[in-house]
Structure 1
C-alpha cells in the first residue's frame, strides 16, 4: 500500500499520456472479477458485495448494501432510497439474524440462491430458490424490487426470487428486527388488510371493494410517497389505528362503534347487550345478542345502515354475479344469514357478499363507509319509522317554537323609519311583568323629559296586547358591552370613561332636580346606559321610574324594582338582585344602600366602579 502511494506521487512527473494510462490501471484494480463496480446495478454468481460497497438501481433511485441502523453495532443487508439525505430503509434481508460485526458478505452461491455470510458466524441469511438456473444474476430495479433471475431471459417467467414477495418493516429505522405486530392481507374470497398483535387481530381495514378497503378510505391502490423537498423530510400520510374505534372488535359481536358518541359502542338495531351489567361498565367484549331470535318467517326485513366499515369477512360468502336484489333474496332464504351488501363498491355497486351468524368489527365512517343491510324483525323496522317520524315532528315543532320565541322576546330591534332615520323598537313581551301602567308611565315621562343625556322617544304604539316604544337608534349599544368585554374595553382611555361617567351624572342630576317632572330612575345599570355613534351616554328605560312633587325627597312604594340579571359590578362580584323595598329617594339612584341582610342595591355607584 505504501508503494502504491509512492507511485501516485511520482506519476506527477510523467507525461500526460502516461498519467492517463496509470489512472486507468488503478481504476481496474477496483473492478477485478469478484468485486462490484460503482456503476453496476447487477451481481452475477462470481461477484460479492461487502461492507462499504453498494448496488444501485439503473436510474439511481434505490441502493442495496450493508448498513447499521442508528447507534447499533449490528449490521443488516437492506435497500434504501439513494438520493434522499435521510437514509430511509425500505427492505431488510436479515431482520431476525443481524451480523455482530462488519464482516458480512453478500453473494450468489453455486445452487443459485442469495446468501449472506459472516466471517465469524457463518451463514446468516439465504433465499430458497426452487428453480435451477445456469446463469443466475441479481438485479435491483428502480421500483425497489430486488430480483434474482436467469440471465437467459428478461421477462418474469425467468424470475427465481423477488424481494416484493417478502415485504418487511420500513418505519422503525433504528431497529429493523421483528416486533410483536405483523401486517398482512387475508387472502380469502373477500380480502382485507389486517394487523396482528402476537396471534390476535389488532386492526382490520375492512374488505377490498374494488377501489379501496371499506374501513380505510385513505388507503388506496395508488400509494403516495410524501417526501417534502423543501423541508428535506418525510411527511406522515396515514397511520392506523386512527382512533379508539379502529381497535379490532372493540364493541363485540353485533355492536357498532361510533367515535362521536359517548359511550362509543352501541348495539345494532334489533340487538341488546348480552351482559347489561358489563355493558354499563363499558366492557363491551361480550357484544350484543338478538332481542328476539329469528323465526325464519316472512316477518323479518332488512334495514339499511349507511357509512359503515363492513364486518369481518372470515364467515362470509361472496359472488360477483348477483345484484343487490338477488343478494337480498339469497340472504332471506338462509336463516343464518345476518346481513348482505355489494362486494364491489365502484359506481352504483355490484356483486354480493353475505354474512352468517355474528357480525364482528363494525364501525361508522362518515363520508367513507358503505351500506350494509342487516336482518331485523318487521316490527322493529316499523318502530324505527315511527320513532324517526316522531323525532322529525319534535324537531320541526322545536325549531318553529324557537323562531316564535326569538321573535316574541326580541326587545330591541334596529330598523329605519319612513324618512330614512334609523330607529330602535322596544317591544314589550308578555313575560316581562310590565303592565299597561308601567308602559304609559314610560311614555309620559320620556315625552316630558328632554335632555341630551336621555334617550329621545320618537313614538309609541298600543294595539290590543302589543305595546311598542320607538326610540332614536344608539349605534354603539349598551355600556356593558364595552365595560365587561376586555377587547372592546381597550378602545377606551381614561378620558373617554370620565366623559361617559360625567354624562351619566349630568343626566341623573337633570332627572333629580332640574327637570319639569323630577323622577328617580330606579333601574340604572351598565346595560341601561346606551352609547350613540360618538359614544355619548344616554339613559333609557323609565318604566320603573318614580316621580316626585316640589321639595319631596322620597316616598313609599310596594313595587319590586328589577334585577341586574347576573351582571357583574366588578370582576368576581355579581350584582345583587334588587329587592322589594319600602322607601325610595333621590339617593336610590346614587347610593349603595343595604336594604336586607341578604341583598344589596347598587345604582350609579356601581356603574361608576
Structure 2
C-alpha cells in the first residue's frame, strides 16, 4: 500500500510540475506540461472556453497573465479525445497521437539519428528535438512559426532552395487554424516586410534602411529597434530577426486574425500586455490606398489622398466620392529623352526634370541602381527614359522606379526625399517662387557678412581670451555632435564628481596607460567602483577613438561586453566611465607565471565560450552589426567571477544594410592578431574578428603570447607550432602544461582545431561566429583546417617602420608599469606597408 501511494505521489508531481525532457521512453500526455529551465515558457495541451473536445498542443508564456499562446502544433487538427500523447519516435521525429494511436500531427519525415533523441523547451521559447549523441537540432519550432515571433526567432527567404519562413494568422482568437493573412520578408534589395491578404499585398513596411524600415516611423529609429535584417544578396537569402525589447521581461510579435502586425511587451506577472507597435496604424498604411501616383497624407484619425504634382485624378467622380484606388495620371506627357544628343540649349531646357517631395514612405517596386553618389543617381535617372523617380539614401545608395509609383505615403516627419520625373512645363517656376529664391540668397549673403564682421570683432577685442573661447567652442562642438547621436541611457558625469572619485586623478589610482590616454580607478559616493578612461589632450586619434567608442558601445548591452556607465566632456577633458573590473584584463593572468595557475582549463574554456558569445552578439544578435577590429587578450576584461568582457571599441566599425565588408587606407590594430587580408589590403569584415579570436583561443590554450612565442631551433611562432601540434598529437601538447589534466584532453584537442579553423589564410575558409559557437557547445564533427600560410614575423622587429605617435593600444586596468611600456612598443598603429609576412 505504501508503494502504491508513493507511485501516486510521483504521478501527481509529474502531472502538476512537468518534467525536463520528452524522450522515446517518456512521452508527454494531457495534463502534463514541459517548462523551460528558467520557467519563462510552458508547453502542453490546452483548449479554449474550458472545452475538452478540442485539445491543442502548444507553447505559452508561463509567468504573464492573461495567457498568450505563441505556438501551436496541431492548429488545423485538434485532438477530440481525452487521451493524447506527444512522443519522440526512434526515427527522429515528434508525433502527436490520439487515444486510437492515430497521428494527429508530426514534425516531419525520418532523419538519420543515433536513435537517442530528446525534446526540450529552451529559455527562448524554442521547442527543439535534439540528437543526444551529436547535440544537433533535428527540428525546432522557431523554424516552423505560427502567428507569433519570439525574441531570437526570425522570418526568412532562401531563393536557391525556394523556401521561406512566414507568419500565418489564426482564423479567430479561439481558432488557431490558418487565417487569410501571411507576414514575411520580401527578396528585394534592400528587403521589406509584407503582410499579404491571400496573394494580395495588404500592408508594407517600406525598404530596410540602415537600422529601420522607412515605412514604420513609430518604431524606434535608433539602435534600440527590436527588428534587424540580414540580407545576403550573393547567396539569395534574407532574415528578419526579432530582438528582445529593452527594459521589459518579455515581448513578442503577433500577426492577428484581422491582419494587424503587433509588437507587445510586458514586465511580467499580472501587469498585462502593452502595445509597442501596431501596423497598419491608419488607413494610409493599407497597401495602395490612393492608387498609382496618389499620395496618402498620413493621419491616425483621417485619411486624405491627393495627386502628386503634375498629376490629376484618373476619374474625378470616383476621386471626389472618396474612391481613390484608381489613382492619378499625368497631366502632361513626358518628353522624349534628349540626353547628350541635344544640339541646342533650347532643346535641353525643354527636357524632363524632377520634383522633390519630402517625408515619403518610398513606393513599392523599387530597384537599387549602381550609381555612386546623389548626383550620379540624379543624372542616371534623367538619362534613362524609363526611370520615373529616384531617391538617394546615404549608406544604401540609389533607388530608382521604372513602374507606376504605388503605395505612396507622406508622414508629418521622418521618411525620405523622393524625386519624381515631370515634364518641363510642370516644373516652370512662378515669379513668386523666383522672388522667394532671390530673397533667400540675399538673406544668406547678408548673414554671412554679419557673421564675418562679428568674428573679426571677437578676434580683435578678445584676442587675449582666445584660448578660453576656443575651449568653449570645442566643448560645444563635442556636445552638439553627441546631441546628434543616440547616446540615450548614459549618465553625464560632472568633472568635480570624477575628480572626487579619483582623488583628483592621483597617481595611486592610476591603473593603466596607453596611446588613448590614462585609465584611473575611482569610487563614487554610493560606493560603486568605476574605471575612467581619460583622453590625452595631445592625442588626435584618441579623440576619434573616444567619439567612436562613446557612440557605439552606448548602444550595445551584453553580459560579455564591458558596460559603459557614462561620459564627461568639460573643457579639454574627455572621459569615459565604465564598470570597474576587479580582475583587470585576461593577459595579466594568462601570461604571468604565477597568476595563470588561477585559471585552470575549465575556467579557460568558459572564458573562450564567453568571448565567442560576446562576438556573436556583435556580429549577429545586436541591433548593430559590429566588427571590433582589435580583439586581443588585453582587451578582454575579467569581472569578480572571471567572466570575460570584451572592451575597447575605439576601432570598432558598424556594418549596415547589406554591407558585409569594408576597407581602409589606414590599418589600425595590434601586430599578430590582424588577419592577413586586413593587414595587407585594409579589407576588414566579420572574418577579420574570427582570425583575431582564433589567435586569442590559441593563446588561452597555450598560455603563450603571440608576440613573444618561439619554439625550437626553427623558432616557430605560435600559429606554426599549433599546426604542428595538431598534426602530430591532435593539439594536446599545446595546452599550458602548468594546468594540464587528463580530464581536459578531448576538449583541448577540439578547441585547438577550432582555433586553427579560425586562423586560416583565406577569409572564406574561416567559420562565422555562429558556427564557432556551435562548434564549442556541441559535439558535431569539425572540418579539417588548412595549414596557416602567412603569419607575422615577430622576430624581425627592425623591419617594421613604426612611428612613435602611431600606436593606439590601451591596456585597460593594468597596474604593471613595466608591462605597459612593453605593450606600448609592441602595439603600433600599422600602415599597410609596414608589415612583414613570412611563408611558414
TM-score, normalised to structure 1's length?
Answer: 0.54
Question: For residues 282-312 of structure 1, what are the alpha-carbon distances to aligned partners after superposition, in whole Å with 9 as ceiling and x for unaligned?
Answer: 2212111222222223512222211111111
1:376 corresponds in structure 2 to 422
Alpha-carbon RMSD: 3.2
Question: For residues 355-409 of structure 1, what are the alpha-carbon distances to aligned partners after superposition, in whole Å with 9 as ceiling and x for unaligned?
Answer: 21211101112223122222223332333x756568999xxxxxxxxxxxxxxxx
1:309 corresponds in structure 2 to 361
- Alignment of 1:164 onto 2:203: no
Cα distance change of structure 1 residues 71 and 293 upon mapping to structure 2, 3 Å threshold: farther
Question: For residues 381-439 of structure 1, what are the alpha-carbon distances to aligned partners after superposition, in whole Å with 9 as ceiling and x for unaligned?
Answer: 333x756568999xxxxxxxxxxxxxxxxxxxxxxxxxxxxxxxxxxxxxxxxxxxxxx
> 2:352, 2:424 within 8 Å by CA — same for their partners in 1?
yes
TM-aligned CA deviation for residue 4 of structure 1: 5.7
Q: Give the structure with higher Rg (CA).
A: 1
2:43 corresponds in structure 1 to 64
1:360 corresponds in structure 2 to 406
TM-aligned CA deviation for residue 324 of structure 1: 2.8
Cα distance change of structure 1 residues 132 and 293 upon mapping to structure 2, 3 Å threshold: farther
TM-aligned CA deviation for residue 64 of structure 1: 1.1
Cα distance change of structure 1 residues 209 and 87 upon mapping to structure 2, 3 Å threshold: same
The separation in 2 between residues aligned to 1:46 and 1:230, in whole angstroms, is 35
TM-aligned CA deviation for residue 61 of structure 1: 1.2
The separation in 1 between residues aligned to 2:380 and 2:133, in whole angstroms, is 53
Cα distance change of structure 1 residues 152 and 323 upon mapping to structure 2, 3 Å threshold: farther
1:245 corresponds in structure 2 to 284
TM-aligned CA deviation for residue 67 of structure 1: 0.7
The separation in 1 between residues aligned to 2:372 and 2:26, in whole angstroms, is 56
- Alignment of 1:338 onto 2:388: yes
Cα distance change of structure 1 residues 107 and 130 upon mapping to structure 2, 3 Å threshold: closer
Paired residue secondary structure (2:77): coil
> 1:78, 1:89 within 8 Å by CA — same for their partners in 2?
yes
The separation in 2 between residues aligned to 1:386 and 1:183, in whole angstroms, is 50
TM alignment of 1:516-595, pairs within 5 A: none
Cα distance change of structure 1 residues 291 and 71 upon mapping to structure 2, 3 Å threshold: farther
The separation in 2 between residues aligned to 1:386 and 1:90, in whole angstroms, is 62
Runs of 5+ unmatched residues, structure 1: 9-22, 394-609
Alignment size in residue pairs: 363
The separation in 1 between residues aligned to 2:296 and 2:337, in whole angstroms, is 28
Cα distance change of structure 1 residues 74 and 335 upon mapping to structure 2, 3 Å threshold: same
1:212 corresponds in structure 2 to 212
TM alignment of 1:203-602, pairs within 5 A: 203-219=203-219, 220=225, 221=227, 222=243, 224=245, 225=251, 226-229=265-268, 232-259=271-298, 264-294=304-334, 295-297=336-338, 299-313=351-365, 316-318=366-368, 322-342=372-392, 348-383=394-429
Question: For residues 200-222 of structure 1, what are the alpha-carbon distances to aligned partners after superposition, in whole Å with 9 as ceiling and x for unaligned?
Answer: 22211212223121111234414
The separation in 1 between residues aligned to 2:25 and 2:280, in whole angstroms, is 47
1:579 corresponds in structure 2 to none
The separation in 2 between residues aligned to 1:107 and 1:235, in whole angstroms, is 36
Cα distance change of structure 1 residues 59 and 388 upon mapping to structure 2, 3 Å threshold: farther
Cα distance change of structure 1 residues 125 and 290 upon mapping to structure 2, 3 Å threshold: same
TM-aligned CA deviation for residue 273 of structure 1: 1.7
TM-score, normalised to structure 2's length?
Answer: 0.40
Question: For residues 586-606 of structure 1, what are the alpha-carbon distances to aligned partners after superposition, in whole Å with 9 as ceiling and x for unaligned?
Answer: xxxxxxxxxxxxxxxxxxxxx
Cα distance change of structure 1 residues 201 and 390 upon mapping to structure 2, 3 Å threshold: farther
- Alignment of 1:140 onto 2:121: yes
1:78 corresponds in structure 2 to 58
Cα distance change of structure 1 residues 71 and 352 upon mapping to structure 2, 3 Å threshold: farther
The separation in 1 between residues aligned to 2:382 and 2:107, in whole angstroms, is 51
The separation in 1 between residues aligned to 2:274 and 2:433, in whole angstroms, is 44
> 2:63, 2:268 within 8 Å by CA — same for their partners in 1?
no
1:185 corresponds in structure 2 to 185
